Amino acid sequence: MKAIIPAAGMGSRLRPHTHTAPKTLLHVAGKPILGHIIDALLAYDIREVVVIVGFLGDMIIDYISKNYNIKASFIEQKEPKGLGWAIYLAREHFVGDPVMITLGDTIFDLDISDLLKAKYDTIGTKIVDDPRRFGIVETNGEYVTRLIEKPEVPISNQALVGLYYIKSTELFGRCLEELVAKNITTRGEFQLTDALGLMLKHNCKITTFNVNGWFDCGKKDTLLATNRYLLSQIKTVDEYDDVIVIPPVYISSTAKVRNSVIGPYVSVADGAVIENSIIKDSIISSHAEVRQCLLETSLVGNNSSVIGVYKQLNLGDSSEIGYY
């Protein structure tokens, strides 16, 4: 079975970091978001991925080719026309075979082994407080009867979470083609919800499955929340002679940390250097330098330098801040 990973979004809510890296390659709990997604797929013997890339897509191609022995195809999405358009571009890669679709900025913590045995097409949902921010599903208790993308007046509070298992791939492909041919758009974009709605009109049975472990990585606060959850699931780091570690924490084996207090909920990526600092609830990216700092709820980008500060930061790649 194949997995489709749409990863072409610009990630505007995570700027400045997404000026220099695709959103799906931002670090959380020790590895890029995309790494968490692919590792989860491999755990269920999904050995082929089709990744839809856009801005800085070469970085995604390079990351997968260097870190995974997996069959991978890449499709460039040149225009931001919506999720339905992204999947439409990949349609030739999955027609005839069941396919899993998982968004490139979302991490799931669930056992999908039963999902892969589903009799019908099925989509992941979660009950949310504010359904207006999501695609929404209405069911008759057994099957999906209606889907609406970000409704002003919600028909339910059962939200789509970005995980789809499609068995009727030939019909799915035809509905994507119909969506584009008839220019069926919502808010000016081709929506995946509209393609699924066309499947319903063709009498396709679609069920839902509940996803509690759903972690959005699309903006700073949700990225940090995801980091907190994932760190709480792993074994903490070894002790350091001159470092106080307050679990849960991830520190790369190639990072250098001295005379500091780290944690709780801090991840420190490869090659980072931290000295004489206190850091909590933060993500320190690859080869970043933090010295004489007190940081919390902060993102420090790759190759960035922060010296002498007590702040909340959202510092992009290759930046330097010094408070002397």
3-state class of 273 per DSSP? strand
Domain ranges of the chain: 2-220, 235-322
Confidence (pLDDT) at 324: 46
From CA 157, how far away is CA 92, in angstroms rounded?
34
From CA 76, how far away is CA 291, in angstroms rounded?
40
134 or 105, greater pLDDT:
105
Confidence (pLDDT) at 150: 82
Tokens linked to 49? 């991925």
From CA 276, how far away is CA 274, in angstroms rounded?
7
Type of residue numbered 190? F
Question: Mean of the pLDDT values across residues 123-149?
Answer: 86
Question: Is residue 90 a contact partner of residue 50, using CB atoms and an 8 Å limit?
Answer: yes
Confidence (pLDDT) at 67: 94
Nearest CA to 191 out of 179, 209, 206 is that of 179
From CA 159, how far away is CA 156, in angstroms rounded?
8
Question: Is residue 193 a contact partner of residue 149, using CB atoms and an 8 Å limit?
Answer: yes
pLDDT, tens digit (0-9, with 9 covering 90-100), for 58-102: 999 999 999 999 999 999 999 889 999 999 999 988 877 889 999
Backbone angles phi, psi at 10, to 5 degrees: -75, -20
The pLDDT-based confidence of 44 (bands split at 50, 70, 90) is confident
From CA 255, how far away is CA 278, in angstroms rounded?
16
From CA 221, how far away is CA 203, in angstroms rounded?
40
Q: Is the pLDDT of residue 135 over 50?
A: yes
271: left (phi over 0), alpha (psi -120 to 50) or beta: left
Sign of the torsion angle spanned by Cα atoms 226, 232, 234, 237: positive
The pLDDT-based confidence of 323 (bands split at 50, 70, 90) is low
Strand blocks (E) in 119-225: 121-127, 135-139, 144-149, 158-166, 206-210, 214-216
Question: Mean of the pLDDT values across residues 136-146?
Answer: 89
From CA 94, how far away is CA 220, in angstroms rounded?
33
pLDDT, tens digit (0-9, with 9 covering 90-100), for 6-31: 999 887 788 888 788 889 999 999 88
The pTM for the full model equals: 0.87
Please report where in the chains the tokens 């970043």 appear, as a residue.
288
From CA 28, how far away is CA 106, in angstroms rounded?
11
pLDDT, tens digit (0-9, with 9 covering 90-100), for 286-307: 999 999 999 999 999 999 998 8
Confidence (pLDDT) at 196: 95
Question: Is residue 241 a contact partner of residue 258, using CB atoms and an 8 Å limit?
Answer: no
Strand partners, 137: 147
44 or 172, greater pLDDT:
172
Kindly report the CATH number that applies to the domain delimited by 2-220. Answer: 3.90.550.10
Matching CATH number, 235-322, of 3.30.1300.10, 3.40.390.10, 1.25.60.10, 2.160.10.10: 2.160.10.10
267 or 135, greater pLDDT:
267
Question: Mean of the pLDDT values across residues 108-114?
Answer: 81
